[in-house]
Each structure stands twice: as C-alpha cells, then as structure tokens.
Structure 1
Amino acid sequence: TVIGNLVMEELAELDEITYVRFASVYKSFKDLDEIEELLQQITNRVRGKKKSSVDDEAY
C-alpha cells in the first residue's frame, strides 16, 4: 500500500533497525535471500551516508 511504502521510506532515513523490523513484517519475506537483499541495500545506504559525511567534513 501507499501508506506502508511511505512508512518504509521514512523509517529507512530515521532508524535502520526499525526499518528492517517493519519491512520483515510488511513485506512478508519468503526466504533468507530476500532478507539478505534488504540488509545489503541498507548497508549500502549507510555506507553512502558515512562516505558523504566524511567528504563533507574534508571541506
């Protein structure tokens, strides 16, 4: 649903753990591969934020 997707977008920005918990129920994962894919997406997003933050501090 639209509301569920909006909640997921906001949670992804606010708290990664809460996002994963919500997503695990909302998306009804069928197997471990789906969960692993979600975790990889979160990991990449967090690493991107950290890299961006470090780059900003350098200037």
Structure 2
Amino acid sequence: MIHNLYCALEHMLALHSQGEAPDDQDLVCCYGRMQLMLACRMFPALKDVGEKQRGA
C-alpha cells in the first residue's frame, strides 16, 4: 500500500513540475496518508491510539 501511494505521489509531482498540476488537495492527502502509514509502521502504538479514539 505504501508503495502504491509513493508511486501516485511521484506521478502527481511529475505532473506538477510539468505545469499540469493535479488538485493540490489530492497531492497533500496522498502525501499525508503515506506519512501516516510510515509512522504507524515505525511506531505501532500509533495505530492503537487511532483505534481507541474511534471506539470512544
């Protein structure tokens, strides 16, 4: 999943550099999701915090 997000982000950035900018919100969202997934892999306890907040 992280690889797919990275590829999508790389593609969006390439379009952006060519002047064919995708929606900035999509770019930020994709980057944010990738960062969140990487953080959850490095710090598994973060995933538990998110699940506890949804269940509360």
User: Where on the TM-score scale, by shorter chain, does this alignment land: which range?
Assistant: 0.3 to 0.5
**Structure with more helix by fraction:** 1
Answer with 1 or 2: which has the greater Rg.
2
TM-score (norm 1): 0.45
TM-score by length of 2: 0.46
